[in-house]
Amino acid sequence: SCQVNNGGCDSNAGCSHDASTNVVVCSCKNGYVNSGTDSLIKCTDACQVNNGGCDSNATCSHDASTNGVVCSCKNGFVNTGCGTTVKCTGTISNLVCFT
């Protein structure tokens, strides 16, 4: 049961109960990724794993309201990505984004 000790889930995981299988299901909260296995969920700060998926010239942080990953280009770099993709380059090029 999720009522006791978060169902055995990681402290950074949400616990739910699958009524059809009677199994506890652990899912990492927003801003965290599973660095364990499918059967042993270990939720780690997403920024500590592969820079949160951010560009190598970006800094990974978390949105204050959602805790989602935010990628920000480091000093000397500009975002030349399109849409929600942050790509940090040293120069501004003629950028064309197709939506």
Q: What is the pLDDT of residues 17-40, one digit of tens each?
A: 998 998 999 999 999 999 999 889
Q: What pLDDT is recorded for position 2?
A: 92
Q: What pLDDT is recorded for position 95?
A: 60
Model pLDDT for residues 84-98, shown as the tens digit of each residue: 889 999 876 666 666
Q: What pLDDT is recorded for position 28?
A: 97
Q: What pLDDT is recorded for position 90?
A: 84
How far out from the chain centre does Cα 41 lie? 15
Sign of the Cα pseudo-torsion (42, 66, 79, 61, in order): negative
pTM of the model: 0.76
Instruction: List all residues 6 or more positions away from 1 whose beta carbon is below 8 Å from its beta carbon.
Output: 7, 17, 24
Q: What pLDDT is recorded for position 1?
A: 82
Structural domain boundaries of the chain?
5-46, 50-89
pLDDT at residue 61 tops 90: yes
- CA gyration radius for the chain? 18
| CA separation for the pair 17, 2 (Å, rounded) | 7
5-46: in CATH 2.10.25: yes
